[in-house]
Amino acid sequence: SGGAQEVSQQDVDISSLRFSSRFDDRDNLFAPHSGNLAELSLEYASAPLGSQLEFFRFHLSAATYFGFGKRTTLAVGLRTGGIYPVRQQDAIPLQERFFSGGENSVRAFRENELLPVGQDGAPLVDEDGNSLGGEAFATFTVELRQLLWGNLEGALFVDSGALVPEAADLFDPFEVRTGAGVGLRYLLPIGPVRLDAAWNTDPGPGEDTFVLHFSVGMAI
């Protein structure tokens, strides 16, 4: 499914078996200072279940938090996932593929604007320049948060990630994109309000060097 001409939005019925597991011992759900979070989901879609598309999909996320005193937190997290067609000739439709970039991903890119790259080195996009997504992705984040004053927290972060056209290539060498930035978080009872400014360390043609995100909730 590595060719742009093969990827499109398709109207298909999917019937699958799903499994999910979660471990969470964080001290705070909205602004953790210590603890761990791990989530795993598995999905298998097949014709005997009534599915028109046959695939295996996994999604894994893990994060750990280290508190230094009462005001400083180091957060480290990994997210990865892949969707593998049972029949290699099947193209995974657009709506089932993974996308990367944005406020909870590699923040040096706008939403879904970290593009997959084909074997020829060209980005895989549609005729309007929009990402065609990938069959696999990985994102790694390190964020240092410091309580500044009252409920206001500052942050330094580095995000690295990749979007892979074909899931079989997830464990082969692929292009990793990295961004770094600074941010502010205002801690509310329902969760933090967040402002992040991120810089693309190696912008490609047409990519922004600087991206601003305003959102609710922590990125990690």
- List the CATH number of the domain containing 25: 2.40.160.50
**pTM greater than 0.85:** yes
Tallying the residues shown for the chain, one arrives at: 220
Structural domain of 15: 4-216
183 CB neighbour count, 10 Å cutoff: 22
Per residue in 166-182, pLDDT (tens digit) is: 988 877 767 899 999 99
Domain count, the chain: 1
Per residue in 63-119, pLDDT (tens digit) is: 999 999 999 999 999 999 999 999 877 889 999 999 999 999 999 999 999 999 988
Q: Which pLDDT value is given to residue 22?
A: 99
Whether the pLDDT of residue 2 is over 50: the answer is no
Q: Is 116 helix (H, G, I), strand (E, B) or coil?
A: coil
Query: Phi/psi zone of residue 27: left (φ > 0), alpha (ψ -120 to 50 degrees), beta?
Result: alpha
- Nearest Cα to Cα of residue 127 among 9, 2, 5: 5
If one compares 152 and 167, the residue with the highest pLDDT of the two is 152
- Nearest Cα to Cα of residue 83 among 125, 137, 119, 12: 137
